[in-house]
Structure 1
Amino acid sequence: MTIFGAIGAAGSGMTVMRTWLDAISDNVANANTVVATSEDAFATRYVVAQEKAGEDGVRVAGVAFGSAEGRLVHDPNHALADADGYVRHPDVDMTSQMTQMIMAQRGYQANAAVVSRATESYQAALQIGRS
């Protein structure tokens, strides 16, 4: 792999990690979104990554969604409560989201370090060529 190939592969990894972090932030932001029992709950987002065909690196292949069924919570004082006193909350697992956030952050940092090291190597090679 060339220096530019390493930068391209790591750059694509950074893009996937950033998209993953965006999905996690959507999930966390909507973890407490309440809807009426007649509506669908917020569906957790999951980023689907895929190897680039014939190239180094990865790409975002799409986004998968969790169940919109959510979970019913008895809250008779809520404005959206049904006749039985229930509302629908999303089924967002905050522990899982925080774990995924740490993994995505570390993945982003690792790819950024590869870009930085490859850039430094390229600049060093240019300095050698000038001598």
Structure 2
Amino acid sequence: MSFLSSMNISASAMTAQRLRLDIASENIANIDTTRTEAGGPYQRKMVVLESRNENNFRKIMMNAAGISRQQSTGGVKVSQIVQDTSPFKSVYNPEHPDADENGYVQMPNVDLLKETVDSMSAYRSYEANITAFNAIKMMASKALEIGK
């Protein structure tokens, strides 16, 4: 595995984690949105990640041993952004403009605690990939210094 492919893997992970953080921020921003363009309350969004690596373990080991020269495309990609299908919360507030005949308002299915944990997880993963990226840069720099 070359330095550039290692950097590409870290970069793909940073891009995916940034999107996770963006989606968590969007969910938190819409925690009280009871009316959307589609009608009804805001529905929580979630990011689905999947591996970009199409190679299996055997192919990777053969590449590492020098038996095969197929390039391994590692990393992560966002396969889709899905909407959470959990039920909406009903809150009693008869003065709200979106209240039904019984005085209940359908609130978004966004849980602040879940979104905070998702944000922290995305941030820590992003931070870990920055550390790996910087370590790769440092190794490449040290390798170039050997030739001096």
TM-score by length of 1: 0.89
Q: Whole-Å Cα distance in 2 between the matches of residues 69 and 104 of structure 1? A: 25
How far has the Cα of 1:100 moved from its partner?
A: 1.1
Q: Does 1:104 align with 2:122?
A: yes
Aligned residue for 1:35, secondary structure, equals coil
Paired position in structure 2 for 1:50: 50
Q: Deviations over 1:36-72 (max 9, x none)?
A: 9xx4221111101110124111111111111275122
CA offset at residue 95 of structure 1? Answer: 1.2
Q: Distance in 2 between matches of 1:89 and 1:13?
A: 33
1:12 corresponds to which residue? 12
8 Å CA contact retained: 1:41, 1:90: yes
Structure 1: unaligned runs, 5 residues or longer? none
1:64 maps onto 2:92 in alignment: no
What is the aligned residue count? 128
TM-score between the two structures when normalised by the length of structure 2: 0.80
Percent identity for Structure 1 against Structure 2:
29
Q: Comparing 76-85 with 47-56, which one deviates more in the overlay?
A: 76-85
In 1, Cα distance between equivalents of 2:21 and 2:95: 34
Contact 2:34 2:40 in 1 (8 A): no
Distance 1:23 1:107 in 2: 15
Judge which range, 92-101 or 15-24, deviates more: 92-101
Instruction: Give the letter aligned to residue 23 of structure 2.
Output: A
The equivalent residue for 2:40 is 40
Once superposed, which parts of structure 1, at least 4 consecutive aligned residues long, lie more than 4 Å away? Answer: none
Residue by residue over 1:1-23, the C-alpha shift from the partner in whole angstroms, topping out at 9 and shown as x without a partner, is 22111111111100110010011
Say which is worse superposed, 39-48 or 64-73, in terms of deviation: 64-73
